[in-house]
Amino acid sequence: MPSNITPSTLLLIGPGCPHCAAVLQHLQGLIKQGEIGELRVVNIAQRPEIAADLNVRAVPWMRIGDFELEGAHTLGELREWIARSGNEHGVAEYFLDLLGHGQRGKLLTHLQRRPEHAAELFYLLADREAGIDQRVGVGSVLEELAEQGTLADWIEQLGELSRNADPTVRADALHYLAMSANATAKPLLETALTDTHEMVRDVAAEALAELAESLDQALTDR
């Protein structure tokens, strides 16, 4: 939910860093102006264990609210991230930024720490204005969740998307329901067999066959 609470910020710096001084100056100004509520600065040369715990390999590195950022950032960019930290779907914007910069692994690491944030993936999946890159990027993350066995935790959300007004969104939801490899997805897929859109009906039939195969394989593996 949107929040008026200013975020806490952690900044990691180190000796010989060409951008650390500028980022530190920006953040110090922001805390003076009340745009961030707390600023903790760590010199990793003195506290290397903190960098190791956070898997930080380069500085400047910062965490603004839930967002982990690396490298040089202008004052304007930092203000944008601060604003996103209070937005209802700021995490979704963060995920898009990670995908756009080829940081899918970092997104997956974030979800391991904050699994509830996977809900934002379904918000992105429902975006009718989403381009192919966004859909493919989100899809690759959902496929990884399926391999980890955690996609089944989100069947209710996928079920809602299977009733979306956009047939492309409905079809995508059915595809991921099948990938959940969970029997509770079956009634949702069966309902979609009578969808008004032919493409969705076809995907539903394929998804049911895929789900049946997954469930049979699970029984065989017991």
Q: How far is it between the farthest Cα atoms of the chain? A: 64
Which tens digit of pLDDT belongs to each residue from 164-195? 999 999 999 999 999 999 999 999 999 999 99
Tally of CB atoms within 10 A around 138: 25
Q: What amino acid is encoded at 151 in this protein?
A: L
pLDDT attached to residue 2: 46
Residues 32 and 95 reside in one and the same domain: no
Q: Whole-angstrom Cα distance, residue 145 to residue 105?
A: 12
Domain boundary among 24, 58, 87: 87
Q: Range of 56's domain?
A: 1-87
Domain harbouring 194, CATH code: 1.25.10.10
Residues 133 and 209 reside in one and the same domain: yes
Residues 80 and 118 reside in one and the same domain: no
Residues 79 and 113 reside in one and the same domain: no
| pLDDT over 80 (residue 221) | no
Q: How many domains does the chain have?
A: 2
pLDDT attached to residue 4: 61
Residues 142 and 171 reside in one and the same domain: yes
3-state SS assignment for residue 210? helix
| pLDDT over 90 (residue 209) | yes
Mean pLDDT to the nearest integer, 156-167: 97
Domain boundary among 59, 87, 115: 87
pLDDT attached to residue 181: 95
Report DSSP state, residue 33. T
Domain boundary among 64, 87, 110: 87
pLDDT attached to residue 128: 84
